[in-house]
Amino acid sequence: MALVQLIRPGATVAIADGMGAPRSVSAELSALAREAGGVRLVLGWLPTPDDGLDLEAFADVRVLMGGWGMRGPIREGRVTQVPCRWSQAPTLIESVLRPDVVVASVVEGRRGGWSLGAAVGWVPAALRAGASLAAVVSRGMPRAAAAGLSCPVTVVGEEDGPPAPLVFAEPEEIHHQLGERVAALVPEGARVQVGPGALGTAVLDAITVPIRIDSGLLPNPVVDLERRGLLLDDPVGTYLAGDTELLSWAHDRSVLHPIDITHDATRLVSSGPFVAVNTALEIDDQGQVNIEGPRARPIASPGGHPDYAAAAARSPQGLSVVALPAMHRGRPTLVDLLSGPVSTPGFDVDVVVTENGTAHLRGLSRDERSRKLRALWER
């Protein structure tokens, strides 16, 4: 069945996200949406731009997280951003944003059939809600999902090459300073969540004890952790976020799971110490975090930040850590009033780390938290 038979007037279409986002049918999808009229589009986390996707062809475009690939359209007001903690994404997909069709990349399953490749995310929720799966068969995608697909699959295209690699900036000296302070807080055997990028790389580079990785995005440093003998078990994530080395390493490993599993706070808390390591654009003296940008037009969504912070704050032997430089572009990152939304509340932040030191906040009053944080920035 061709894609044209799935795109009807007034339909809602979702495109799978992450490194597994299909690109080869974007131009065709856009043309069909323009011709049909009234077609709505739902997008998730797009780490790179999709040049074939014509946003103006759709009657409405909703973005759940955005990512680097959607910052331009978000800033320009061409799409509507829906703020949510990432554990809410499946609920939104199964209710108010329920798609009629989800377009996703698939790979051949281990035992026949089809499987998702470099990303799982919220796609299982869309399929549970009854969406038709318009599949783009990928010959270069790793087979990293823990479970295969049990729904009907309609093949609408093919892609031969691997997904575009995600390359992040190398850590600078300040990131290494932060990474060493954070690594000192991680007990042996703990499950650790980090984000991709310079800080996450620096933290995992500084780890010297065996740990488990339990994170929404699985970055390249997990490969090095295993190489150093410090990775316990297969990591748990819902997206791969790295280059060809990570993609090769993840092939035929059951490392990717639906958001319902990866961001489930009860699961995260129930299996020993859980340490969440995140950063911030700015923070106030109660530990409230803004990662979304300015109040007038945020360019990011909370994502998994509040999910993992809340879970780690409930872990008796774990910690919710926010690590950030004391200054950014010549201005202190500790502010009296956040310039944007509160992405993560202060009571879900246990420890704040800067290059100046570490402030432990768990169990403190509001006045005590304020004094601790202000003292950290005054050193």
Is position 165 within any domain? no
Number of domains in the chain: 2
Give residue-wise pLDDT tens across range 20-61.
899 999 999 999 999 999 999 999 999 999 999 999 999 999
**Pair 134, 232 in one domain:** no
Percent residues over pLDDT 70 in the chain: 100
Distance CA 214, CA 342 (A): 24
- The pLDDT assigned to 96 comes to 98
Kindly state whether residue 166 falls inside one of the protein's structural domains: no
End-of-domain residue from the set 103, 128, 159: 159
What tens digit of pLDDT does each residue of 317-339 get? 999 999 999 999 999 999 999 99
Residues 29 and 145 in one domain: yes
- How high is the mean pLDDT of the chain? 95
Q: How far apart are CA 117 and CA 108, in angstroms?
A: 9
Q: Identify the CATH number of the domain in which residue 44 sits.
A: 3.40.1080.10
Domain boundary among 103, 136, 159: 159
Could you tell me the residue range of the domain that residue 228 belongs to? 173-378
- For the stretch 21-30, pLDDT in tens is 999 999 999 9
- Answer whether residue 127 is part of any domain: yes
Same domain, 187 and 306: yes
Looking at the structure, tell me whether residues 189 and 332 fall in a common domain: yes
pLDDT, tens only, 97-114: 999 999 999 999 988 899
Q: pLDDT at position 1, please?
A: 55
% the chain with pLDDT above 90 = 91
Considering the domain architecture, whether residues 222 and 307 belong to the same structural domain is answered as yes
Same domain, 178 and 153: no
Runs of H (alpha helix) within the chain: 26-36, 71-76, 89-94, 123-128, 173-183, 198-206, 221-227, 244-250, 259-262, 265-269, 305-313, 366-378
Which of 159, 182, 201 is where one domain is finished? 159
pLDDT in tens, 62-79: 999 988 899 899 989 999
Both 239 and 213 in one domain: the answer is: yes
In a domain, 58, yes or no: yes
